[in-house]
Structure 1
């Protein structure tokens, strides 16, 4: 049989395979099989955009950002070794709209996601919250978890100059603690004057400078530190928070941060203990062996969770990277799914 005939025959055979058979072949080719077993992952920083919101305000992103054929998405997850994909709204703009609009659109976005998930165990949701209305954010988190079945919420940086550590959000963090769900602290843009001062000189030539290359990390690192310096650590000792991108630089700087802040606290260290008590971090968009090794050393494998940052990052490449990482079988299971199952209260 010639190559062309053999290839066509193989293609016909693959089309007749079940999803589980395709999954095995995909895992074998992609290096996901480890000693005859494959650990199906739970991923937490994966995005979508509401079509209704986009029609109203405009959303720039790849076509795959919009919710489409759910079964097709499930087939793609199967091929990439993903068991559960937790989705969150990629543009954080809804939280910063005028108060009434923020409440309206956060609710619509969450309803659209819940309707699309439609009870499938393959997907979870992080709620969009109307941070412009702190009381509305509390109500929407409660509704999203108790009525829509969401896993928690995602917030995007500051809101109109109000930082997440502001006392106006204490009730929100208290609700998250009471519900036993995490809040994911996702990057957002700083205030316009701050952004202009630090990034405008290079924004045209290097637009990612103000975003993933530096701006997002710096902004989110400061927000996470403020949360640990404020009152919420005492008010809500069981609150769970999540950072993406392997901790937004904090693991690399953790010793310096802890030692420096102790100078302002009569020599007593406190920051690292607080950070380890409240934060878990994901690998989203930061697939570096060295950065992962540092994060594991500083935080421990029980606080690191595999994620992709889909569709901005490629799931297959991320999966191949984590499967090549230097992890024990126990730590690999924890990072791929065990930690997420515990943090998100997922059934095994």
Structure 2
């Protein structure tokens, strides 16, 4: 059974240097997480990565630039994005049976970002893109980003909404008061990241993005970034939201959900209840949740789905999702 992980990350030295040049580690504590063995694994797109994939049982990685990507960079990110995408395209060409890719976009320049997404899909053969939440003071539902989402819908290219660190004011209000290390962890992988990503998806719904772009497909990691567990509560906003459809239908029509290395059957069962087996995708969140011992494949093989749904979860749903890409 072919196993495809659709949220698997990398980091280039150029991006690391660009983050450092603007002092991003002072504003976003997650920048400091990319160190030691994690940094080494993020940087490697050759034999070492392939060996670790083999060890956990993963056949294909869909590569994406790790958070916070280029979200905090200015106009210089246009050229940086092109260089990153060209570099990743070379890695994919060297191992086309092991790697696919999601486009890195200069999101602070939305029109240029849309053009780069089109180039990546139609020329480089990429399978979509990944966005990391807010850009400056704007959430992703802001009208300035419409061109990116419109381009993705036109291409049939899915968008993975990845977590990023909440703004400083939110961290100070809700995630501080312990010690610097614990505050940083609480605001990122402990909880803050996941609330932030889930909120971005909800804002896309409530802003009418999917009414304007009904074919747009969004992916949320970590079993839906918490929002699946409150779907019934969100539905109560139907009477005031002014949307074309009930909120629950956007979960079934515009959302895919992936595991991101959280190999928990009861989370999978909840995802099935909300989005159905045809909208489940697999991922390991490499290298952050990397665990050896055939861990990834063992989870899929023992996840409790019937054989057809298991195959769909492992690779079939992703293959179908990207089958309509305009290349």
TM-score range normalised by the length of the shorter chain: 0.7 to 0.9
Query: Secondary structure of 1:280's match?
Result: strand
Structure 1 stretch displaced more, 285-294 or 182-191: 285-294
Structure 1 stretch displaced more, 328-337 or 282-291: 282-291
Is the 8 Å Cα contact of residues 71 and 134 (structure 2) preserved in structure 1? no
Which residue in 2 is equivalent to 1:227? 204
Which residue in 1 is equivalent to 2:166? 190
Query: Secondary structure of 2:138's match?
Result: coil
Residue 46 of structure 1 deviates from its aligned partner by 0.3
Which residue in 2 is equivalent to 1:25? none
Is the 8 Å Cα contact of residues 92 and 99 (structure 2) preserved in structure 1? yes
State how far apart, in whole Å, the 2-side matches of 1:202 and 1:89 are.
31
2:320 is aligned with 1:342: yes
State how far apart, in whole Å, the 2-side matches of 1:343 and 1:142 are.
17
State how far apart, in whole Å, the 1-side matches of 2:297 and 2:177 are.
36
Residue 148 of structure 1 deviates from its aligned partner by 1.4
Which residue in 2 is equivalent to 1:4? none
Query: Secondary structure of 1:238's match?
Result: coil
Which residue in 2 is equivalent to 1:35? none
State how far apart, in whole Å, the 2-side matches of 1:213 and 1:76 are.
25
State how far apart, in whole Å, the 1-side matches of 2:281 and 2:242 are.
35
Which residue in 2 is equivalent to 1:34? none
Query: Secondary structure of 1:95's match?
Result: coil
Aligned counterpart for 1:168 among listed residues 136, 141, 144: 144
Is the 8 Å Cα contact of residues 240 and 279 (structure 1) preserved in structure 2? yes
2:2 is aligned with 1:40: yes
2:76 is aligned with 1:101: yes
Give the 3 Å change call, closer, same or farther, for CA 266–192 of structure 1 in structure 2: closer
Is the 8 Å Cα contact of residues 50 and 67 (structure 1) preserved in structure 2? no
State how far apart, in whole Å, the 2-side matches of 1:83 and 1:230 are.
38
Map 1:316-335 to 2 at 5 A.
Answer: 316-335=294-313
Is the 8 Å Cα contact of residues 11 and 43 (structure 2) preserved in structure 1? yes
Structure of higher CA gyration radius: 1
Residue 95 of structure 1 deviates from its aligned partner by 2.4
Query: Secondary structure of 1:121's match?
Result: coil
Query: Secondary structure of 1:154's match?
Result: strand
Is the 8 Å Cα contact of residues 45 and 88 (structure 1) preserved in structure 2? yes
Aligned counterpart for 1:142 among listed residues 85, 99, 118: 118
Unaligned runs of 5+ in 2: 21-30
Is the 8 Å Cα contact of residues 282 and 304 (structure 1) preserved in structure 2? yes
Is the 8 Å Cα contact of residues 83 and 122 (structure 1) preserved in structure 2? yes
2:88 is aligned with 1:113: yes
State how far apart, in whole Å, the 2-side matches of 1:186 and 1:269 are.
25
**Cα RMSD, aligned residues only:** 2.2
Residue 243 of structure 1 deviates from its aligned partner by 0.4
Which residue in 2 is equivalent to 1:16? none
Residue 97 of structure 1 deviates from its aligned partner by 0.6
Is the 8 Å Cα contact of residues 281 and 318 (structure 2) preserved in structure 1? yes
Which residue in 2 is equivalent to 1:310? 286
Residue 291 of structure 1 deviates from its aligned partner by 1.2
Unaligned runs of 5+ in 1: 1-38
Aligned counterpart for 1:52 among listed residues 14, 20, 23: 14
State how far apart, in whole Å, the 2-side matches of 1:150 and 1:202 are.
42
